[in-house]
Amino acid sequence: MLDLAEKATAKNLKVGVGLMSRHSRALEELVKRVQDGQLGDIILQRGYRMSGPIGSFRSLPKRPNENELLYQIHNFHSFIWASGGNFSDFYIHIIDHLGWIKGSWPIKAQALGGRHYRQGPKGETYVDQNFDTYAVEYSYADGTKFNMDGRCMEGAQEYYASYLHGSKGFGIASKSGDCGMPSSIYKGLSPDRANLVWESKVAPDQRDPYQNEWNDLMGAIRDNKPYNEAKRGVEASLVTSMGRMAAHTGQEITFEQMLNCEHEMAPDVDKLTFDSPAPLQAGANGRYPVPQPGIVKNREY
């Protein structure tokens, strides 16, 4: 993918990757302010996505005679080969924008997680591969830490935001959601209005990051401006996978280890047809392999 990114640049192709936080006008301004030193040295970053189960986070067994491959694609959040599991799909946006704000990517991760509530409303066992909880400590080359916490459970406190701690103050990157406005900077460590230094103000027609990323891509095509997000998209995905693999194996995983990971989850995925066997097969009990931290250490399942 990194090689393809270079080839796309050489051909002057316009490539968007769907990481919409990079098109949040509030975050764009926050990045400028942080990198200009308004928060001082970044000491700690925190990200949270905690909610009840959404999408296809967990799945009940497929129906009799249902196509196995289409079942897994339809329930893509449940299968790591199809989506990176809920970790990658749910958490990549906060991981991406905090790396952007820092101006670099974490070089390693250690993590934990667990499967807790695995029964359906009628007693059926959910057959997805996800953990219900994740807690990842990412480390940057300069020693700065970034903690990313995720949870998918009914009835638990919901928390969905991202924060920055600097030597000169405290910052809110996303107030709510993947890139929810306003972003803000405070003196001290408490986000009290009395300590507010700056708060983002965005024009109404620029407040939707999804529309912004589309407009930015179309503008680059029309005006023939350089526009290739592939490299940073690949790197954001790699760093996300690094944290996921650390949780799933119970091992510290480095950027280089993830980049050179030999576990091919879906060989020849580009050749799949409706009649192809699914890349993941259930066992005799109808359940799929799940991560076993500390037991399976060199692959995720």
> Is residue 6 assigned to a domain?
yes
Among 254, 158, 183, smallest CA distance to 32 is for 183
- Binned at pLDDT 50, 70 and 90, residue 165 comes out as very high
> Is residue 286 assigned to a domain?
no
Peptide bond into 267 cis (omega under 30): no
> Is residue 235 assigned to a domain?
yes
Mean pLDDT of 253-279: 95
Domain, as residue range, for 85? 2-271
How much is the pLDDT for 225?
96
How much is the pLDDT for 285?
87
> Is residue 254 assigned to a domain?
yes
Per-residue model confidence as pLDDT tens digits over 85-122: 999 999 999 999 999 999 999 999 999 999 998 888 78
- Binned at pLDDT 50, 70 and 90, residue 43 comes out as very high
How much is the pLDDT for 281?
94
| Mean of the per-residue pLDDT values of the chain | 96
> Is residue 297 assigned to a domain?
no
Per-residue model confidence as pLDDT tens digits over 15-29: 999 999 999 999 999
Per-residue model confidence as pLDDT tens digits over 177-196: 999 999 999 999 989 999 99
Helix (H), strand (E) counts: the chain: 8, 9
How much is the pLDDT for 234?
97
Mean pLDDT of 122-132: 93
> Is residue 220 assigned to a domain?
yes
Q: Count Cβ atoms within 10 A of the Cβ of residue 104 and give its class: 0-12 exposed, 13-18 middle, 19 or more buried.
A: exposed
Q: Burial letters for 183-202: b for 16+ Cβ neighbours within 10 Å, e otherwise?
A: bbbbeeeebeeeeebbebeb
CATH of the domain at 73: 3.30.360.10
Among 180, 168, 152, 17, smallest CA distance to 94 is for 180
> Is residue 123 assigned to a domain?
yes
What is this structure's pTM? 0.95
How much is the pLDDT for 3?
94
Three-state secondary structure call for residue 5: helix
How much is the pLDDT for 121?
79
Q: CA-CA distance, 30 to 40, in Å (whole number)?
A: 13
What one-letter code names the amino acid at 85? G
**Alpha helices, H only, the chain:** 2-10, 25-35, 68-74, 80-83, 85-102, 209-223, 230-249, 255-259
Look-up of token digits 């027609």: 205
Mean pLDDT of 32-51: 97
Structure tokens at 229: 């997000």
Per-residue model confidence as pLDDT tens digits over 200-232: 999 999 999 999 999 999 999 999 999 999 999
For residue 295, report the phi and psi dihedrals to the nearest 5 degrees.
-105, -55
CB 105 within 8 A of CB 239: yes
How much is the pLDDT for 153?
93
- Binned at pLDDT 50, 70 and 90, residue 46 comes out as very high
Number of domains in the chain: 1
Q: Is residue 197 scored above 90 in pLDDT?
A: yes
> Is residue 121 assigned to a domain?
yes
Q: How far apart are the first and last CA of the chain?
A: 23
